[in-house]
Chain A
């Protein structure tokens, strides 16, 4: 479970065809850019979750 959580952001970040497009844009920012920017804090949260699970 812990490892699965850590893998999720990595797979999303490397699955380029998933986000290699301009629409849907957000506040005028193409999907390619905002998706990756949003993925950064998401990855931090998955590490936090993995840490909570792994602590006990």
Chain B
């Protein structure tokens, strides 16, 4: 079990892990509030200023799985894996126009979740339940993926257990995480995010300077990677890989970037980080400054090409970054980098479990099971649910193949974007009616899921031509494949718009136009 353990790297790793565990528990006293109130436990009392929000959102959105999976895709196919960069470029201008409105209306009415807002706006319990259920469903596999990231770096430390011991390190890590999240709520990941983000930046800067130096410069790296892709394509002509996009990859590249950008802030953990901000100003500030993380992400993506140039051999592409780190750095710094990635799993996992717990408590349990809940009872239930959500993610990793968690996460994105019409259109207009949006959501969920099933496996992409039962063959004639989340949300939108014409709703609207102006609130 410990025969191949990298002792120096492991010692550094354990040191940083212990440090943030102490921080996680101490965070309960930070900006002290009554943690028995759900607004304090689950949203940090909405007192996070611009810099805390920056670290929290950055730590929350740019996860360990990103650090592992994006370079893994670049390592595997080259340019296509870079779609994460245009995705993060288009997201902030869009969020600049929408998030301050969502923050303002949520601040005014005490909304904590997407479903809270949808219920207030449309007074439609079914639609709010759909929004809440989508969020909880999509978040569970996302947490499981963080565990996979954690497992990758722990195995790179040289730990190899058999049977039940194989999962011992991540179980210990997750129990610690679960305990400090239970105690400190959102304050814990917010405090740990400072350490995590600083470490990730040090890792990236060191990697982007030292590794090209060791490999003889960027020109040599790209030349080696280009040759490797050419050789792979020569061996397998069906493979689309290279230093630029192949013609068939352009459509998927654009639609994945757009669809992923639309989905990201529908996730409960993204909204939790946003609504914990103390002012609309803090949100606007972050839309201009969070792109710093996108630069880091782009540089991390290049690690995939560096791993090729370094001749790193891996069992799966997901080992590319850990193996490159071991190849390039002395053991103590490799331990530092692995700790950075591991913390990159803990911060999002904590916020995701809090976001899912808030959503489950307020939008599923309270309205349908126990309407008379007090904020105190809400806090107790949310804390317990945050434990259960993490337990669920652990079980997924233990008993199901990794492939299953990856597939679920992929479907999670396709599902998550289906609440986009209700949420984002709802920030600007009440023209759409609740029942129409609910039917649109259902249409989007069904179409998105059906498109993703290829008969043998799940895939995020589908050519824009379909064989529809009873109707026949249908071809848009565009000749490229598109991200299913985007195709499905377009159908969702069209259905909701068409039905809104027919199904007018006279349901109440808790909000008024002035509630959406964060500058007027300030």
Chain A residues at the B interface, C-beta cutoff of 8 Å: 3, 6-7, 9-10, 13-14, 16-17, 20-22, 25, 27-30, 32-33, 36-37, 39-41, 43-44, 46-48, 50-51
Contacts and interface: CB of A to CB of B under 8 A. Distances in A.
Given A47-B92, A50-B96, A30 B243 contact: yes
B302 A43 contact: no
**Most chain A Cβ neighbours within 10 Å, of B86, B90, B250, B284:** B86
Contact of B284 (A7, A28, A51): A51
B218 to A, nearest CB: 4
Contact of A36 (B89, B219, B243): B89
Nearest to A16: B250
A23 B245 CA distance: 14
Given A30-B222, A33-B302, A44 B289 contact: yes
Contact of A43 (B89, B217, B244, B257): B89
A51 B288 CA distance: 9
Contacts of B96: 6, 47, 50-51
21 contacts: A6-B94, A6-B96, A13-B86, A13-B257, A20-B244, A22-B243, A27-B217, A28-B221, A28-B222, A29-B222, A30-B244, A32-B244, A33-B82, A36-B82, A37-B85, A40-B89, A43-B93, A47-B93, A50-B93, A50-B96, A51-B96
Nearest to A50: B96
Contacts of A14: 86, 90, 254, 257-258
B503 interface: no
A44 B250 contact: no
B85 A44 contact: no
A22 B302 CA distance: 15
Nearest to B301: A33
A9 B89 contact: yes
Q: Which 7 A-B pairs have the closest CB atoms?
A: A28-B219, A28-B218, A6-B93, A13-B86, A44-B291, A13-B89, A10-B90
Contact of A40 (B97, B254, B298): B298
Contacts of A9: 89-90, 93
B90 A37 contact: no
A10 B244 contact: no
B210 interface: no
A16 B93 CA distance: 18
A10 to B, nearest CB: 4
Interface in B213-230: 217-222, 226
B294 interface: yes
B486 to A, nearest CB: 12
A12 to B, nearest CB: 8
A37 B96 CA distance: 20
Contacts of A27: 217-219
A31 B284 CA distance: 31
A6 to B, nearest CB: 4
Contacts, number: 102
A16 B253 contact: yes
Nearest to B251: A16
A17 B246 CA distance: 11
A39 B288 contact: no
A32 B80 CA distance: 11
Nearest to B86: A13
Nearest to A11: B90
A24 B94 CA distance: 30
Contacts of B291: 40-41, 43-44
B222 A47 contact: no
Contacts of B258: 14
Contacts of B94: 6, 10
B389 interface: no
B496 interface: no
Nearest to A19: B244
Interface in B286-303: 287-289, 291-292, 294-295, 298-299, 302
A46 B254 CA distance: 21
Contacts of A39: 85, 89
Contacts of A6: 93-94, 96-97
Contacts of B218: 27-29
A14 B94 CA distance: 14
Contacts of A36: 82, 85-86, 89, 298
A52 to B, nearest CB: 10
B23 to A, nearest CB: 29
B73 interface: no
B372 to A, nearest CB: 44
A12 B291 CA distance: 16
A20 B250 contact: yes
Nearest to B212: A28
A46 to B, nearest CB: 7
A14 B261 CA distance: 12
Given A7-B93, A13-B86, 16 more contacts: A6-B96, A9-B89, A9-B90, A9-B93, A13-B85, A14-B257, A20-B250, A25-B222, A27-B219, A30-B244, A32-B243, A33-B82, A44-B288, A47-B287, A50-B93, A51-B284
B79 interface: yes
B85 to A, nearest CB: 5
Interface string B77-117: 00100100110111011101100000000000000000000
